[in-house]
Amino acid sequence: MTTLLNRPTQGLSALRSRLPALSNPLRPLLLAAAGSGRLQRVVTGLPVSRAVVRRYVPGAGQDAVIEATREILASGRAISIDHLGEDTSDPAQAEATVQAYLELLAAFGRLDVPVRPGVPPLEVSLKLSALGQFIPEVGHDLALTNARRICRAAQAVGAWVNVDAEDHTTTDSTLAIVEELRMDHPDVATVLQAYLRRTEADCRALSGAGSRIRLCKGAYAEPADVAFQQSAEVDASYRRCLEVLFAGDGYPMVASHDPKMIEAALEIAGRLGKADDAYEFQMLYGIRDDEQRRLAAAGHTVRVYTPYGDQWYGYFMRRLAERPANLLFFARSLIGR
């Protein structure tokens, strides 16, 4: 399955012409750059990039992410680890990703974190496109089989599994795979993106007992017929989705750094009498660390989405697109050398 953003060789000008106007004028260009193979080679080749990337990614190897895991758990926060990589068309690459997760989960088992019922502190986040979802003919089944292997290994060490959301062309396939995974592993979670017009209805369908839904705003470039384009519309959708998820019987996971969304979640939880352990907050590694610690100290579950690996380009460009100040910081680092 090919999409706007998953073809690394697509020309920037072709992409630009198809991208909608958004509240942040740089966002479309940066998200287009996230899909450019040529820019990827330039940016990943710059020595300074690695230093800047370190703000968002603790390292390439398993040792680095295990060290970060120890620090995050010691600070009273939970973690969800993502092995970086997406959009593979190579079954061998998909298999390498599965092996990385299996090795990571084996390392979880040696971390000596007590397995307890309730809210496990350890989780892995998967991108189905990294497990082969786009491989023609076999992609859906291969991604399902690969995700099942990871779910079994996670269950053995008492860790949770979350299936990330990618661009909208994958949503139906991803939700179908999650539904199948949940037959054997009912606590498998997935992500819904508030910028998609369909998401409020998806929240209603997926807010039943036992479901775990991570609600985020959405990080890809999406056309106006499927996604809200203005940040005020996305925020309004996020609030409506929060109302639906918190009114349901599942476990909402509020994935946002936006103080307005965090405030809205706290207000809804208070109004509906949700216990502190009936939902959690999630933020990305390296972003609003003080706020993460403040919420954890106030008794909330806070999970830190922590990516590792050397395939950091797409992830890094989406972080730059979220905040123009990050781009300035990156530009200054380049000039300052």
**Identity of the residue, 87 or 322, whose beta carbon is nearer to ligand FDA in the bound complex:** 322
Mark the segment that binds ligand FDA (CB under 6 A) among 13-21, 33-41, 198-206, 210-218: 210-218
Residues with Cβ within 8 Å of residue 220, at least 6 apart in sequence? 5, 31, 166, 167, 168, 193, 318
What is the 8-class DSSP label of residue 21?
A: P
What is the 8-class DSSP label of residue 10?
A: S
Q: Give yes or no: 112 in active site.
A: no
**Identity of the residue, 115 or 331, whose beta carbon is nearer to ligand FDA in the bound complex:** 331
Q: Does 322 bind ligand FDA (CB under 6 A)?
A: yes
Site string (78-117) toward ligand FDA, x via CB under 6 A: ----------------------------------------
Residues with Cβ within 8 Å of residue 337, at least 6 apart in sequence? 47, 48
Mark the segment that binds ligand FDA (CB under 6 A) among 205-213, 271-279, 319-327, 329-337: 319-327
CA distances from 142 to 84, 126, 145, 149, 151 (A): 19, 14, 5, 11, 14
Tell me the C-alpha distance between 238 and 170, whole Å: 20
Choosing from 77, 82, 87, 164, which is the catalytic residue?
164
Choosing from 77, 182, 214, 318, which is the catalytic residue?
214
Q: Does 173 bind ligand FDA (CB under 6 A)?
A: no
Binding residues for ligand FDA, total number by CB under 6 A: 25
Contact pick of 255, 264, 269, 296 for ligand FDA (by CB under 6 A): 255
Tell me which residues touch ligand FDA (CB under 6 A): 164-165, 191, 193, 214, 216-220, 255-258, 261, 282-284, 287-288, 305, 319, 322-323, 326
